[in-house]
Structure 1
Amino acid sequence: MNHSSFDLAVIGGGPGGYVAAIRAAQLGMSTALIERDQLGGVCLNWGCIPTKALLRSADVLRHVRHAAEFGIKVSAPEVDLPAMIERSRSVAGQLNKGVVHLMKKNGVTVLSGHGRLKGEGTIEVTERNGTISSIAARNIIIASGARPRRLPGLEPDGKTVWTYRDALVPSSIPRKLLIVGGGAIGIEFASFYHAIGAQVTVVEMAQRILPVEDADVSTQVETSLKRQGIQLRTGNRIKRATRDNDSWFVDIGDDEGGRSETLRVDVILVAAGIVGNVEDLGLERTAAKIEKTHIVTDAVGRTGEPGLYAIGDVAGPPWLAHKASHEGLICVEAIAGLASHELDPACIPACTYSHPQVASVGITEAQARAKGYTVKVGRFPFVANGKAIAMGATEGFVKVVYDARTGELLGAHMVGEDVTELIQGFVIGKTIETTEAEMMRAIMPHPTLSEAMHEATLAAYGRVLHA
């Protein structure tokens, strides 16, 4: 066995792990990063990035189909699925190489293999060929991520039952696709596959799709998707699924014994949540606690075991890449003894890159009222925004929720074109504890979609100008 010693070792090279490793190296720590698959993790290689590349292809397809509305004559577009997939994989590959370069640039030692805690600061690393080595580290961060939740009877086979990974590299476009789960992942894939020609049905157990978003947002997206032709079955669950030759017959219904329906589909995509990767890490040798497949930590990532930390998806929701990266920074700076801040869940934005897009930060109107706030709520529709009209993208709105007593921005919720690029303005506002006064004084450029952010705040206080 080969032995090496480091100030910090990180198990998992996803957006939490590799960012933590970079920050540790910047602070002068000797750092090792252990990754059993690809640097960048699921997000970069099989999640956030390649899905956005495919969704961009779908956006271009929609624009071409509507080119005549902008005075442009084109022939009817055709979907080239292999080319879409090739571009998506190329984008992911380019960024993967970028992470490899960043590790070299910052002097991080990368070990390819599976890391397992052996006690007393020792990690055993098993490479794919079975070679075993070990390293020692004064501090260890687990950033092992998560994987799709499996449903009994719907075990993925890569052919007719998919995980998100299978959905990124299909051999053909399913004629009829059933998506189990109406959260962000399910709705994004619904938008993509519908755009390229599949008949899509989404089944969601909750009473509305995107159930963690503001109710007004869910209603708007539901209306939009139905108008496009996507079938939505909310308040339903799968009661039985039977394979018959090349088809699945899926019985769905509610828990009250009322509604019942049998769907015949070609492919089932399971997007029903995730479970943390806590197995075979040697955690049983430590005092770290696991609850519902996630490692329990404090505000800076500490577990119950001295010198052992956890960040990212394995440490619990929200399961977002940017949350994992920020946790990595907070955790490493705490290890280094720097004055660090605690992660504020209310300042973590959430984005869904469907058509239309969804973006939010802070609490919803219902959550604010449940917490006892007296609120001022403002909405401004994109149909009244000059830039949106010029773009032909008038669907959606901006909604803001303020504390009526203090003027604190409690939450912001958006539906519409490129709102995932707009939400950062409200994120900064939340982070610096802005009030309605600063938002009203802010001068938004004209004509831009951002003017709807200003108008929504004005609307909350009865001062809206253009609606």
Structure 2
Amino acid sequence: MKMDIIVPKAGLTMTEATVTTWLVAEGDKVNKNDTVAELMTEKLTVEVEAPESGVIGSILKQEGEEVVVGERLATLLTTPSEREPNENTVISSAEKVLKDPLNETALPSYDAVVIGGGPGGYVAAIRIAQLGGRVVLIERNELGGVCLNEGCIPTKTLLKGAELTKLHSLSSEYGVYYPEPSIDFSKLLQKKEAVIQQLQNGVRHLLKKSKVTVINGVGEVVSPNKVNVTKSNGERERITTKNIILATGSEANIPNIPGLRDAHPLTSKEALSITELPESIAIIGAGAIGCEFAGIYAPLGVKVVLIESENQILPGADHDVAQFLKKSLTKDNVDIHTSSKVKEIKVENGEKTLYMEHKDHYQEIVVKEILVATGRKARIESLGEIGLEVVNGGVKVDEHLRTNIPSIYAIGDVTGKENLAHVASAQGMVAAENCMGYAKEIKYDSVPRCIYTSPEIASVGLTEKEAAAKNIDYQIGKYHFNGNGRAITNGKAEGFIKVLRDKKYNQILGIHIVGHNASELISEGVLAINLEATPEEIAATIHPHPTLSEGLLEASLASMGKGIHV
């Protein structure tokens, strides 16, 4: 059978070493306890011995490479012995049926098993395949994960429908008249499902093209190199693998409010599945999810109450941006309550009453439905049983996305780092390349955050509050779209671009945009922060006219007190 030769731990303080010499080559025969390689630490030379007699299969780490304790150096094809069978011993098919009801592959047949087919998992699987690895992807539901099926994509489809209800008001300014819109919610839901199906088919095609093995079922990690699979048809199988990538995602977090569960609240998942619009709805939580659903329901004629326990909607966002969105949602008749906590909920005669505490007084709100949008929690059930370290509700990973078990990686929402699809995909790429022998790292300094309300919000880097907390001497530059030619011709001149500049190093610290197409505009800002650009470098870049992107040039100039059109 095949087994691993790993970096031994020599001494209490040893954590890493350098491969200095291989004393064997692939295909060489070795005896148990033969020295096969030498490693060098800061203090001593470490000899690596063959754990069993056999033949050297693949040498995975080359001379000069850095390695960590427990990391795989090479594979060893062992020879049969007279010892008693154990879990690593090749046994006959008949013995296997008696000892293990699962259909187990004796040798590691994959370079990686990826559990979870969301934007992190399927990207990781494709990248491993691109690098020549054999990979299997296990998904219990639909490919694309929460993002494609229950989050990003369906909500953006509904938000587009809500936006179109305002088209007649805008078009009349251009002499083009439409009647007041009527809402066919069932048709909008059909469009949502069609979009999901189209993108699901796209993911399937990409996986098939990359020759990724896809299993519809539930994967359970039973050891650092084994995964049990219960397929959707009931069949069970055990897969052996060199690496495992956990991409199990997250689920809605339901707060412990008395009476809430009896009220059968909606989460974002159920909210995307309802077939009729409620007359009224209370949304608990005014983060990105809560604000987006407020932006869906209100234009479609639903009476919306938005409740947030913090002192502003979008807690953690730039204050100016949050205040601008609050005004916009208020124009859409969203009733917003900040610094407010729901203390109890009662259900009577088909109505749901929320007893809300606001500073020094209570208020009762009566609605037909309740949507909980108080964040998400990692799916980490049973992961602790195999020894994975869990911190702050997520699987702990290092900058390589490796867990405390060297052969197991974790990506996406299950890590508790950033619950964003594009972060999961980036993590998937890093984990995949590390599974295939690279040494890639993930950094979170330039992660863009987008909220697809009307108007959109996008940001990257530090807010003013965060910069102040770091004692950074900063200066802001602000450019309003009501002075931008393209925004005015579009008839959508609301919003602004805000740039934070470090006075000492003249480096861009953060960029915050609220306005039409903000989610598309932010990418230039992400690149600028990733490259540690200065405002002068953006200002020296010629931007096309008339475009919304000129606003970033102007805000950058303004952050240095050199604004032209401000």
Same-fold status (TM-score > 0.5): yes
Verify the 8 A CA contact 2:224 2:407 in the aligned structure 1: no
Verify the 8 A CA contact 1:156 1:163 in the aligned structure 2: no
SS of equivalent to 2:182? coil
SS of equivalent to 1:399? strand
Q: Structure 1's 18 and 166: CA in aligned 2 closer, same or farther, altered over 3 A?
A: same
One-letter amino acid of the counterpart of residue 50, structure 1: P
CA distance in 2, matches of 1:226, 1:308: 47
Q: Does 1:155 align with 2:281?
A: no
Q: Does 1:431 align with 2:514?
A: no
* Deviation at residue 225 of structure 1 after TM alignment: 1.3
* Deviation at residue 245 of structure 1 after TM alignment: 1.9
Q: Among 355, 362, 371, which residue is 1:269 paired with?
A: 371
CA distance in 2, matches of 1:78, 1:204: 31
CA distance in 2, matches of 1:363, 1:354: 21
- The corresponding residue for 1:290 is 390
Q: Among 36, 58, 71, which residue is 2:140 paired with?
A: 36
CA distance in 1, matches of 2:544, 2:271: 39
CA distance in 2, matches of 1:346, 1:237: 32
RMSD (Å) for aligned C-alpha atoms: 1.4
Verify the 8 A CA contact 1:156 1:162 in the aligned structure 2: no
Q: Among 337, 344, 352, which residue is 1:248 paired with?
A: 352
One-letter amino acid of the counterpart of residue 155, structure 1: R
Q: Deviations over 1:294-317 (max 9, x none)?
A: 101101111111201100000013
Q: Among 110, 123, 134, which residue is 1:6 paired with?
A: 110
CA distance in 2, matches of 1:156, 1:214: 36
Instruction: Give the structure with the higher percent helix.
Output: 1
Structure with greater contact order relative to length (CA < 8 Å, sep ≥ 6)? 1
- The corresponding residue for 2:27 is none
Q: Among 210, 218, 226, which residue is 2:330 paired with?
A: 226
One-letter amino acid of the counterpart of residue 180, structure 2: A
Name structure 1 gaps, 5 residues minimum.
none
- The corresponding residue for 2:234 is 130
- The corresponding residue for 1:338 is 438
* Deviation at residue 339 of structure 1 after TM alignment: 4.2
* Deviation at residue 156 of structure 1 after TM alignment: 8.4
- The corresponding residue for 1:420 is 519
Verify the 8 A CA contact 1:289 1:296 in the aligned structure 2: yes
Q: Does 1:67 align with 2:67?
A: no
* Deviation at residue 103 of structure 1 after TM alignment: 1.1
SS of equivalent to 1:346? coil
- The corresponding residue for 1:305 is 405
Q: Among 306, 314, 330, which residue is 1:210 paired with?
A: 314
TM superposition outliers: structure 1 runs of 4+ over 4 Å: none
Verify the 8 A CA contact 2:461 2:511 in the aligned structure 1: yes
SS of equivalent to 2:275? coil
- The corresponding residue for 1:91 is 195
One-letter amino acid of the counterpart of residue 356, structure 1: P
Name structure 2 gaps, 5 residues minimum.
1-101
Verify the 8 A CA contact 2:478 2:558 in the aligned structure 1: yes
Verify the 8 A CA contact 1:117 1:283 in the aligned structure 2: no
Q: Deviations over 1:243-268 (max 9, x none)?
A: 112110101113x5x03110000110
CA distance in 1, matches of 2:175, 2:156: 28
CA distance in 2, matches of 1:307, 1:439: 43
* Deviation at residue 102 of structure 1 after TM alignment: 1.1
Bigger-Rg structure (1/2): 2
* Deviation at residue 120 of structure 1 after TM alignment: 4.4
CA distance in 2, matches of 1:54, 1:82: 11
- How many residue pairs were aligned? 460
Name the TM-score, length of structure 2 as normaliser: 0.79
CA distance in 2, matches of 1:334, 1:69: 55
One-letter amino acid of the counterpart of residue 457, structure 2: V
One-letter amino acid of the counterpart of residue 379, structure 1: K
CA distance in 2, matches of 1:447, 1:60: 25
Q: Deviations over 1:2-44 (max 9, x none)?
A: 2342110001000000000000000111001010001110101
CA distance in 1, matches of 2:466, 2:246: 32
SS of equivalent to 2:487? helix
SS of equivalent to 1:74? coil
Name the TM-score, length of structure 1 as normaliser: 0.96
CA distance in 2, matches of 1:218, 1:259: 25
CA distance in 1, matches of 2:215, 2:262: 30
